[in-house]
Amino acid sequence: MNIAAIRKRKNSSEKIIMLTCYDYSTALLLDSLGVDLLLVGDSLGMVMLGYDSTVPVTMEEMLHHCKAVSRGAKNSLVVGDMPFLSYQISNEEAIKNAGRFLKEAGCDAVKLEGGIEVADKISAMVKAGIPVMGHVGLTPQTASSLGGYKVQGKDLDSAKKLLLDAKAVEEAGAFSVVLECVPAPLAALITEKISIPTIGIGAGPECDGQVLVTHDLLGMFEKFTPSFVKKYANLAPIIKDAINNFIEDVKNDNFPDDDHSFSGNSEVIEKLKWGK
């Protein structure tokens, strides 16, 4: 998978598949299944690091996880999420930090949140040779200024702003854009109006692709599940049952048994007993 191949999926019958990924073993699994894009999202702050939001996530934390995912991804395109304040300060700072995702962490591209207000940052990165994915609609890093985690673009003014944001991201040179928590008809219109692929999350079926947080999809994160998430499994109770069974087996001396232990040389043991 490469940037050109993603661009060709625009208005294609073959939808783009993107999932979040934060570690090597999960990268191996998703890569083997043909997932197009592995997003090392700053959502790792909540599902992996226990933060209350994505805001506290640092560059070093992002690079650490991106390195692990890059080691496991042989075919999927790896996209690193730029954390809060890693690109907003200046174009120079944005290029420097984005470059670290490619140079140090082995990512193929970066993603950053915002529309018109970050278009100059996207343009600067692209001119520096860094592939960029945009992200408009609900932008978690600035969710508090948007009134919280809720659907964006419901009235005329905010819908116009979203369309202009998507166009600004396109014109700045991004190869695709995530639309998060956008009414389905508006997401469909944006998808029609811009020439780069749209990847939806809570944005209806007409986008050129879809992304979900893998822990949500698998039912592994019980603290909160967004309403737009479809759970394809509910692994948390299964994992809990397995751990409880292990605890009980150990407490009752049922594990390890002979099948899960190594046999020794009885003659050696006897000699050790008698100090020989």
Catalytically active residues, by annotation = 180
- The stretch 125-144 carries a mean pLDDT of 92
Write down the pLDDT at residue 185. Answer: 98
Q: Which residues, 6+ apart, have CB-to-CB distance to 19 below 8 Å?
A: 30, 35, 37, 38, 39, 211, 212, 213, 214, 217
Cβ atoms of 110 and 82 closer than 8 Å = yes
- Counted residue by residue, the chain has a size of 276
pTM for the structure as a whole: 0.94
Write down the pLDDT at residue 145. Answer: 63
Q: Supply the angle between the helices 91-103 and 119-127 in degrees, to the nearest 10.
A: 50
Greater confidence (149 vs 75) lies with 75
Residues 250 and 248: their CA atoms lie apart, in Å, by 5
Tokens in use for 196? 């780069």
The 10s digit of each residue's pLDDT in 43-85 is 999 999 999 999 999 999 999 999 999 999 999 999 999 999 9
Write down the pLDDT at residue 144. Answer: 65
Confidence at 172, pLDDT banded by 50, 70, 90: very high
> Does residue 147 register a pLDDT over 80?
no
The 10s digit of each residue's pLDDT in 184-230 is 999 999 999 999 999 999 999 999 999 999 999 999 988 888 899 99
> Does residue 243 register a pLDDT over 70?
yes
Tokens in use for 141? 């890093």
Q: Using the 8-state DSSP alphabet, how is residue 254 labeled?
A: -
Write down the pLDDT at residue 155. Answer: 95
